[in-house]
Amino acid sequence: MIHEPSISVSKPVTLPSAPALEIVVINVRQAEERRRRITAQFATLGHPWRFFEAHTTLTNPALRYDPARILRTYARQMTPSQLALFSSHYTAIADFAENGAGDYLLVFEDDVLFDTAFPLDALTRYCSDTGIDYIRLFGMYYAAAKQLNFFFDRSIVRYRSSPAGAQAYMLSRKGAARVMETCRDIETAWDLSLDEFWKTGLPIYSVYPFPVIERFSASSVPMNKYGPLSPRERLAWLAHRARNKLRKLRANLRLAQADRSLRARDPGFQQVDDDMIRHG
């Protein structure tokens, strides 16, 4: 079901053109209370959006999960809920990459609080102008980052490592295709897989402060504890971690030039005023 925006405008306003944006909220149909909260919250969003019915198992046949390999890359088995979440996000992105009509896809999980006044059209224009194919609107943890640019009175940062969490992020069609291509083999949790920029080729950009926060609520996606691992499995896991750290280091070094280029295009701090709000 497509939810059309319920906004009223007192007089015609000509807005600058913006890339077309598709918005999906991943939700298990049985989570009715979460669905009601999102529907009420997004009533003033100003963009069409829809629910994506979340998978309850590893449903997508394009995904590959090897119980033996996951111990060498994640040091534990993934839970059925983690696999279902991975399948849901991957499928929503693959559907957009292959069949979407828009230029960008914004993915939400259903446990978020979103500032619906946040200028999404301006963000898609900014990403299109600067060649950003993946940008987060939320991060779960503190992670080292570089401040590169301003977006009105907020910052555009590039994370040097994953801040974790997949509650809200946006991908271009090119970015979605890269995720579809590089994330078929399940080697870690979805949010960490999405942030393996040395593999996907998609640097982790974000708006900060985040326009999205996670509700304080019980997780619907439990995780297993580490192990148990045999000595050989533990050695393989440690070697995998070391290789990824080296790849991450090299990728961060390679991104230095892109960082300088983005800084050179910095429009500077812009205090939000009524005209900006009207014209996005």
- Per-residue confidence (pLDDT) for residue 279, from 0 to 100: 56
Domain boundaries, the chain: 2-215+228-279
Q: What is the pLDDT of residue 8?
A: 36
Distances in Å between the alpha carbon of 174 and those of 46, 50, 92, 117? 25, 22, 15, 27
Q: What is the pLDDT of residue 225?
A: 93
Output the six-digit token pair for 73: 């890359």
Determine how β-strand 168-172 pairs with β-strand 104-109: antiparallel
Residue 37 class from Cβ within 10 Å (0-12 exposed, 13-18 middle, 19+ buried)? middle
Q: What is the pLDDT of residue 26?
A: 98
pLDDT value of position 217: 85
Q: For residue 267, what pLDDT is reported? A: 83
Per-position pLDDT tens, the chain of length 280: 556 544 433 344 444 589 999 999 999 989 999 999 999 999 999 899 999 999 999 999 999 999 999 999 999 999 999 999 999 999 999 999 999 999 999 999 999 999 999 999 999 999 999 999 999 999 999 999 999 999 999 999 999 999 999 999 999 999 999 999 999 999 999 999 999 999 999 999 999 999 999 999 888 888 999 989 999 999 999 999 999 999 999 999 999 999 999 999 888 887 777 666 665 5
pLDDT at residue 278, as a whole number? 62
Q: Which residues contact 97 (CB under 8 A, 6 or more apart)?
A: 173, 176, 177, 179, 180
Q: What pLDDT is attached to residue 165?
A: 97
pTM of the model: 0.90
Between CA 140 and CA 212 the distance in angstroms is 11
The answer regarding whether domain 2-215+228-279 maps to CATH 3.90.550 reads yes
